[in-house]
Structure 1
Amino acid sequence: MSEAQDMNHPEEDEGELFAVSAGLPGGWFEVTLAEGTVGEATARAEQVLAAMNPLELQVREHTLKKDVVERALAAHEQNPVLSAVCYTTAGEWAASLDIVGFAPDGGRPEPVDMARMLYDWEDATMVAAPEVTFPELPSGPSARVRGTYRKDRRRLFGRQMAEFVRYAIYSPDIRSLVVMTATWNKFAVDDEVAASVDVIARGLEIESGETASEGAVHREDRG
Structure 2
Amino acid sequence: MASHGAGENDVDYEYRFDLPSGWFDLTLEHCHYSDAVILAGSVMKGFNLLELDVSRRDLLRDLTDRALILNSDAPIFAAACYAPNGNGLANLKVDTYGEEGVPRPAPEEVVPMLLKWSNREVASEPDIKYLDLAAGPAVRVQVMLKAKRRLGFGRQLSECVDYAVFPPGVNHLVVVNTRWRSMERTDELSRCTDEFVAAMRRVPVDINGDEVASPNE
Aligned to 2:171: 175
SS in 2 for 1:20: strand
SS of alignment partner, residue 24 of structure 2: strand
User: 1:70 — aligned with what?
Assistant: 65
The residue aligned with 1:96 is: 91
Once the two structures are superposed, what CA deviation does each residue of 1:17-52 show, in whole Å capped at 9, x if it has no partner?
Answer: 753221000010001111222232122212321111
Deviation at 1:116, TM superposition (A): 2.4
Could you say which structure has the larger radius of gyration? 2
Task: Identify which of structures 1 and 2 has the higher relative contact order when contacts are C-alpha pairs closer than 8 Å and 6+ apart.
Answer: 1
Task: Report the number of matched residues.
Answer: 198
Alignment of 1:204-219 (within 5 A): 204-207=200-203
| Root-mean-square deviation (Å) | 2.7
In the TM superposition, 1:1-223 aligns within 5 A as 18-103=13-98, 106-152=102-148, 160-207=156-203
TM-score by length of 1: 0.80
SS in 1 for 2:112: helix
Where does structure 2 lack aligned partners over 5 or more consecutive residues?
1-7, 211-217
1:200 partner amino acid? F
Greater strand content: 2
- 1:148–1:164 Cα contact (<8 Å) kept: yes
Query: Kindly, what percent of the aligned residue pairs are identical?
Result: 29
The equivalent residue for 2:214 is: none
Query: SS state of the match for residue 120, structure 1?
Result: coil
Q: What TM-score, normalized by structure 2, do the two folds share?
A: 0.82
The 1:113–1:208 alpha-carbon spacing in structure 2 relative to 1, beyond 3 Å, is: farther
